[in-house]
Amino acid sequence: SAVPDLAGRHVVISAGGTREPLDPVRYLGNRSSGKQGYALARTAVARGARTTLIGANTALPDPAGADVLRVGTALELREAVRKAAADADVVVMAAAVADFRPAEYATGKIKKKDGQEPAPLVLVRNPDILAEVSAGRARAGQLVVGFAAETDDVLANGRHKLRRKGCDLLVVNEVGEDKTFGSEENEAVVLGADGSETAVPYGPKEVLADVVWDLVAARLG
């Protein structure tokens, strides 16, 4: 079993992907499975943390020993993260959050009409939860960790995103056709606001999770 180096700490992890409803039966969503966030939760529990896992549309077994909350939309996720972060030592945003949501929600199912073009889909921006949590640390010394999926210039884009979001650590994945989404394995570079760069070779999501907790534990002191 793991060294309990997160004992006495409260960690909050978001996982999965948000869904933004168009009407009672349709939504805009993404392919995030939540597996990386769940791996983070299992390993956090194993290292002794009080663990709050906020699952957005995940269909995975609750990690034993974690408090699991469920949300659907980005706005619901924002509220849940805000509340849980109030007394958190660490916030890890592993969820894939929709950048945009439909400007309007139709309370009845949207119908197609013969001979009529579809109405244009109007979207509005969702808040950037990671940037908000980073900017408004609920506690002195609270650590914030983000994730980023990049297809090219992975390190340069990752560095830029780390600064833009204001987080302490950014886990950068290279994504492509069949990489990462829904798979059991991951490959990443963890960038630190202190300039550190930790490469994690292709392997189980638990291994990447433990590297993240190693870096977090070192920074919590």
Residues at the interface with ligand C5P (CB under 6 A): 74, 93, 95, 97, 99, 126, 128-130, 146-148
Q: How far apart, in whole angstroms, are the C-alpha atoms of residue 216 and residue 220?
A: 6
Smallest separation, CB 213 to ligand C5P (Å): 16
Q: Which residues are annotated as a binding site?
A: 99, 109, 127-130, 147, 161, 165
Q: Which amino acid is at 131?
A: A
Q: Helix crossing, 35-46 with 205-220: angle to 10°?
A: 50
Query: Shortest Cβ distance from residue 101 to ligand C5P (Å)?
Result: 10
Q: List binding-site positions for CTP.
A: 99, 109, 127-130, 147, 161, 165
Q: Which is nearer to ligand C5P, 106 or 149 (CB)?
A: 149
CA distance linking residue 92 with residue 110, whole number of Å: 36
Residue (of 34, 122, 47, 106) closest to 77 by Cα position: 34
Report the length, in residues, of the chain.
221
Q: State in angstroms the smallest separation of the CB of 133 from ligand C5P.
A: 7
51-73 in b/e form (b: 16+ CB < 10 A) is: bbbbbbbbebeebeebebbebbb
Q: Least distance to ligand C5P from the beta carbon of 77, Å? A: 8
Nearest by Cα to 80 from 12, 135, 143, 136: 12
- Of 13 and 66, the one with the shorter C-beta distance to ligand C5P is 13
Instruction: Return the number of the residue (93 or 190) whose C-beta is nearest ligand C5P.
Output: 93
Question: Given the complex with ligand C5P, which of 75 and 207 has the nearer CB atom?
Answer: 75
Q: Under 8 Å CB-to-CB from 117, ≥6 apart: which residues?
A: none
Which are the contacts of 75, defined by CB distance < 8 A and separation ≥ 6?
101, 126, 127
Catalytic residue set: 30
